[in-house]
Structure formats: structure tokens, C-alpha cells
Amino acid sequence: MKEEQRLLLLQSSSLFAPPEGVKLSYGTAGFRADASILKSTVHRVGILTALRSLKTRSVVGLMITASHNKVTDNGVKIVDPSGGMLSQEWEPFADQLANAETPEALLSLITEFIEKEKIPFDGVQTAEILLGRDTRPSGESLLEAAKQGISSIFGAMAHDLGILTTPQLHWMVRARNKSMAATEPAYFEQISSSFRCLVELIPNETKSNKMDNRVVVDGADGVGGEKLEVLKNMLTGLVIEVRNTGKGGGLLNDGVGADYVQKEKVVPRGFGSNDIGIRCASLDGDADRIVYFTVSDNSSSRIDLVDGDKMLSLFALFIKEQLSILTKEGNENPNNNSQARLGVVQTAYANGASTDYLKQLGLEVIFTPTGVKHLHEKAAQFDIGIYFEANGHGTILFSEFWLSWLEARNNEFSLVSEGSEQQKAALRLLSVSKLINQAVGDALSSLLLVEAILQHKGWSIHKWNKLYQDLPSRQLKVKVVDRTAVTTTNAETIAVSPPGIQEAIDAETAKYSKGRCFIRPSGTEDVIRVYAEASTQESANSLAGSVAKIVDRFLGFGSSEQ
């Protein structure tokens, strides 16, 4: 490393002292903490993104957000060139950088890492980073810290894209590395025109059944509500009313947002008895999750939740139907390679009723450990892979190979059977691939895809919600001395250690009709999480409580808490 570069890094780092006694760890959400202690961390992540860009010789992203956390928190995460999350191989280095105690220790780490990773550091190779932030008041000063970190690496350029949803930044990084337009107007244009195409391809018999094309959306008083106000004016055939847009003085994620609605199963602020029966949806703080709901027809604040499992089921059903039309009898092409491998990826937390429904459709269902990175990686192994978590985070991935095949088939149809049902199916699938955000879960694109499919099928939210009935479930957590004493296998559904605990869980579970139960260690605290399902809520509660006692007996202090 040249002396000028060493001095620049030392000088820049000396302006941002790390908080004392705080150890941060880079996870799926990046670094997250109270915003007041994050400046040093964000500055160092700025350095890290510049190194990542140099290493990959590609554009990378840096997002300032804490998603569904309270407004006083903030966070920072890196977007890899694919539009996905930072490679797991770099996470330990991110931890080391964030926790280095002095500028000298930081410089030593960087020097070692550059050599180990063979990062081109000659001043010839340039680095390019796209920056975004959500609407949190702390975002602006943290973004400045990130810029200073980036500019402490020679040849690194930061492009500040202003206030964005997290999925918008992921989309833009992916687009930029594919040499496509990577601007907010380009994002809005792609998803609005794809939605328009799907609406135009709605069968005539459905169009005559006038369904309600209005949806009321809780914007969580965050960036999603702000962006949806722009997007809704670009749409035809859909009326969107946005509440909790952040403009009315409401506090971000305070009694609002997808996380609150999904966990508490109550109406968000600004919704009530006047909304009974209306199709409603809730975005989370940075608009990477969405859940639907209806206000129950009584005076309480309870809702009927339509979660990520139901969204996955709707998307899988629609795509399977279009694939069936595309490959139906009479397809005269003998070299037809259209049997797409369609797969669905879930975690053990997916409701058992949703898994049964998907298997009844004849779909291949795969389970992974909890965490978006596991789901995304597995979904990418299919021609079309769909993953969603119950919390409303997920997306659909289309392989480049299969999309190329589909484009070619569509061109063939244009020549020999223009306007045929098969061509319409091909066009619908191509539109879905452009509407959905293939980089990451995106509440805005998921919202439009749900709305397009409901219109296509002529379904109300009530009919959609009746695809299957969720099995009652209960989650508990048990405080333990050492969470690492529990190890699991088979996508976290079987406990391997301590010896004998799985047999005890199995014996308890067998007592309940439709019983299912698993335990897994928390990733962040010394607790073991218990998930139980059964045919009634009373049984699910009882099974969870019994298994919590088993965990207590094997590992705990003799105390369990909800």
C-alpha cells in the first residue's frame, strides 16, 4: 500500500472513534444498533464497500436502514454486484473492521486483507458505490460518514441516490452491473409497465366480473409509503390509497408496518371499523416486506392476516397455471424444452397447512435453515424458484437460461400463433419476471403482482385467504445457559444435541392431532426458540409449553418466557 493511501486511511479513521464496550456483528440485516453509536461503523463499511468493488471489479451498493426497527435505531448493509446480500465469506472481515479499536489496528487489518484477497490496489482500478438511505432522521449524517469512508480509498467513487427503499437500491445495483438503466424512474417504469401488461392479458371472462380494484396500504410511516405515492399515479386498473406515509407526523414503525401487523395480528394505526371487508396491506419500514389483511367484522382491533405463506401459494398457483397453458397438448415443437423446474423454498416456520397445499398442487417443496440468504440460494437452483417467509419477505427467481428459452418461444408464437393462449401465457410469465424484484424481496413489486393475479382470477381477498386454513401455532422462547448446546439438522427441524432431547420432543408431539414442533437456538441471544403447531390453538399452546419445559429440563435455568 502506498504511503499516501496509508496516511489517508489513518487520517480519515481518526475522525471516527468506535464506541467503547460495544461489539457489533454483521448479519443478514448488516450492522444494526442505536443510531447514536454507528458513525464509526458506517465509515468503516464505506471502506469495505470500496474494497468489495475493487475485488469484484463491479458496482456495489451501501444502504443505510434499520428496516422494521424503531426510529432511533439505524443500520448499514452492503449490496453485492448481483443485487443480493454481501457474500458470507466477507462477513467475518466486516466484523473485524467494525470492532477494530484504533486507526492503526484498522489499517493493519485492511493491509492484511488486501494481500490475502489479492485486491487490486494500485490506484488504476476504480471502485463505484451506489448509496441509499431510508427516511430516518439519522440517515443523512450516517451517509456522510459512509462517503468519507469510501473517499479514503483512492479511485473509489460514491453516487448518492438519496432516499430509496432497500429493494430499489438492490435492483439498481443489479441493473447497473447488467448495463441497464439503474435509476429510480427506470425502476418505476419497469414495474408499472409489467403490471400494465399483466392487466391487459386478463382473460375476457374475468374482465366482465368487475372485482374491487381498490387496496388500502399502510406505509409504516416510512420510505415505502412515500414511494408508493409516486408509483400509484403510474398505474391504470388499480386504485391505491396510502395511509401512514410519513407525512402526517406519525412515527416510523410505531404501531404500524408489516412486522407489527404480522406479529401482533391487530390493525395498524389509522385503520379501523370503517375498513371492514376492504383489502388492506402493510409494508415494513424499508419496504422489503409486505403482508395483507382485512379488518375483522367486529368492534375489536383484530384482523384476518394474509401472510407471506399465502402470497407464496398465490404466486406458485398462478405460475403453475401459466406453465400448464404453455406446455399443453398440441404444442407441436418436438424440441420443446419447456418443462421448467418450478420449486418452492420454505423454512420450518412456514405453516404446515401451506406446505400441504403446495404439495397437493404437485409442487416441489424444499426446506432450508432460517434466513433469507439460505432461501435465496436454494431458489436460484430452479428454473423458477419461489421463496417467501411468513413475515412477507420473499421473491421469485427466474434462471437466465430459462428466460432466454421463454423469449425465443414467445418470438416463435408471434410468427405462427399470434394471440394464442400459449403466447399469452408466455407473455404473462415474462411480465412476472420483470415485475418481481429478482435481487431481493420487494414490497412494492409484490403488491403489484398480488393485485394483478387477484384481478386475473377475479378473486377477492377472502377467496384468496381460503386457499387453505392455517394450522394454529405458538412460538415461545426459553432462556438457557448456553444456546450453542443445541445443534440441529434437516433445515433446523431435528435437534441433534443434546442427546435425547429430540426423542423427548417427538414423544410429546405424537400426543397431538396434526402436531409438529421443533426447537432452534437464537442467532443473537441465549435463548432457544420453540415453534409448535396443532389442530387447535389450545393444543398448539399446550405442545409449545410442554416442549419449553423439556428444553428447560435439558438446558435451562428452570424458567421459560414468552
Active site amino acids: 67
Cell numbers representing residue 415 in the block: 410468427
Spell out a b/e string for 108-133, using b for 16 or more CB atoms within 10 Å of the CB, else e.
ebbeebbeebebebeeeeebbbbbbb
**Lookup result for grid cell 427466474:** 398
Please check whether residue 228 is in contact with residue 444, taking contact to mean a CB–CB distance below 8 angstroms. yes
Identify residue 217 by its one-letter amino acid code.
V
Please check whether residue 130 is in contact with residue 64, taking contact to mean a CB–CB distance below 8 angstroms. no
Measured in whole angstroms, the distance separating CA 161 from the mean position of its chain's CA atoms is: 21
Q: Is 435 exposed, middle or buried (0-12, 13-18, 19+ CB in 10 A)?
A: buried
Map residue 282 onto helix, strand or coil. Answer: strand
How many Å apart are CA 532 and CA 538, to the nearest integer?
A: 11
Q: What are phi and psi of 398, to 5 degrees?
A: -115, 130
Number of H helices, E strands in the chain: 19, 20
Give the closest residue to 429 by CA, choosing from 287, 327, 291. 327
Strands of the sheet with 556-561, listed across from one edge: 516-521, 527-533, 473-480, 556-561
**Lookup result for grid cell 401459466:** 322
- Cα angle 120-86-24, degrees, rounded to a multiple of 5: 105
State which H helix or E strand residue 492 sits in. none
How many of the other CB atoms lie within 10 Å of CB of 459? Answer: 18
Map residue 92 onto helix, strand or coil. Answer: helix
Please check whether residue 536 is in contact with residue 480, taking contact to mean a CB–CB distance below 8 angstroms. no
Please check whether residue 361 is in contact with residue 317, taking contact to mean a CB–CB distance below 8 angstroms. yes
What 8-state DSSP symbol labels residue 525? S
Please check whether residue 479 is in contact with residue 560, taking contact to mean a CB–CB distance below 8 angstroms. yes
